[in-house]
Amino acid sequence: MTTLDRAAPATPAATPADRPVRRELGVANLLSHGFLLFWGAVTVLPLLWMFLSSFKSNAEILADPWGLPGELRLDNWARAWTGANIGRYFLNSLVVVAGSVSLTMLMGATAAYVFARYEFRGKQVVYYLFVGGLMFPVFLALVPLFFVVRNAGLFGTWTGLILVYAAYSLPFTVFFLTAFFRTLPTTVAEAALVDGCGHFRLFFQVMLPMARPGLISVGIFNFLSHWNQFLLPQVLMQGDESKWVLAQGLFALSVSQGYAGDYARLFAGLTIAVVPVLLVYVIFQRQVQSGLTAGQLK
């Protein structure tokens, strides 16, 4: 038998029945990519317009709102940071968000680890009570929440706001991390217990480092949620303006500057509030994606 005889048979050509299927797939891909491009433009263009407007003068914003700034006027940012107290609100938000995210991650990871690794009576009932918190929007509980915080003596304090933030973030955190802890190998935990490691050390020194991708992912989600929160601080932080968070300060700035006509300072303040969110997402983008996918695999 010759070499030509031993060659693999040629791939059969596409039949006429396959051509409509391929054509439909091509149309579907074109529509999906077109929709994604449209959605990306709707998301990015307003942010780009806000960023460019923060460097314009008020006259340029009113005369040519879609044009480029004549020069980079960094004094807009300085006036927003100091004159509009955005700097103080920014630091207040950092304190509140750092405390709430830390408390949420500590309590959520501990509860999720227990639900994923231990068996006890009533486990499913308690777990579903946690997860059931995902079904209740925050605005439905504003009135009773206001009275609870006020009666506890925490109204208008960062402590009260941190506790409320953590309480409303726990359901999603427990739900996400419980599924993630279940995917971690049990052999490592069993080997650590055999070597004399206690349950406390097992959790903090063995299991938490292994769950780092999931912790980073849910931590970033909680950070974005707490940083962008407006309704809760607006209800629970009335009174002392020095304790306001960034969302309250920006709302007051938008109302006051709408009448004063200082739109350049308003856009600069909005940009200052958006920049940390964008930086966090850009820096931890890969960790978020790896954490979301790692939790689906064993």
Tell me: the pLDDT tens digits for 12-68?
A: 555 555 556 566 667 777 888 888 888 888 888 988 999 999 898 888 888 888 888
* Same domain, residue pair 96 and 209: yes
- What are the tokens at 122? 């009533």
Length of the chain equals 298
Residues 127, 46 within the same domain: no
> What mean pLDDT comes out for the span 82-108?
90
The whole-number average pLDDT for the span 140-166 is 91
Return the number of other C-beta atoms located less than 10 Å from residue 227's C-beta: 21
The amino acid present at 204, given as its one-letter code, is F
Task: Specify whether 33 is located in the same domain as 181.
Answer: no
Which amino acid would we find at residue 58?
N
Is residue 4 predicted with pLDDT exceeding 60? no
pLDDT of residue 162 exceeding 90 = yes
In sequence order, which residues have a C-beta less than 8 Å from that of residue 65 and are 6 or more positions away?
A: 49, 53
Most confident stretch, 53-67, 157-171, 255-269: 157-171
Percent of the chain whose pLDDT exceeds 90 = 21
Q: What is the pLDDT of residue 98?
A: 94
Is 63 part of any domain? no
pLDDT of residue 298: 44
At residue 297, the pLDDT reads 46
pLDDT, residue 149, reads 92
C-beta of residue 261 within 8 angstroms of C-beta of residue 58: yes
* Predicted local confidence at residue 106, as pLDDT: 93
- My answer on whether 109 and 171 are in the same domain is yes
Question: Both 46 and 169 in a single domain?
Answer: no
pLDDT value for 187 = 86
Give the CATH number of the domain where residue 81 resides.
Answer: 1.10.3720.10
The verdict on residue 129 lying in a domain is: yes
What is the rounded distance in angstroms from the CA atom of residue 238 to the CA atom of residue 245?
11
Residue 169 lies in a domain: yes
Confidence band for 185, pLDDT divided at 50, 70 and 90: confident
Residue 94 shares a structural domain with residue 233: yes
Distance from C-alpha of 79 to C-alpha of 74, rounded to nearest angstrom: 9
The whole-angstrom separation of Cα 19 and Cα 22 is 5
Closest CA to 123 of 104, 214, 131: 131
State whether 146 and 192 are in the same domain: yes
The answer to whether 218 touches 288, Cβ cutoff 8 Å, is no
- What pLDDT is recorded for position 217? 86
Query: Helical H runs in 133-262?
Result: 142-151, 158-183, 186-194, 199-201, 208-210, 212-227, 231-236, 246-260
| Shared-domain flag, residues 86 and 149 | yes
The reply to whether 106 and 36 lie within a common domain is no
Determine, yes or no, domain membership for 179.
yes
Residue pair 223/100 in contact (Cβ under 8 Å)? The answer is: no
Number of domains in the chain: 2
Average pLDDT over residues 157-186: 91
pLDDT grade for 96, boundaries at 50, 70 and 90 = very high
On whether both 149 and 216 belong to a single domain, the answer is yes
pTM, rounded to two decimals:
0.80
* Domain encompassing residue 26: 18-53
The tokens describing 174, both together, are 């427990």
Average pLDDT over residues 242-263: 77
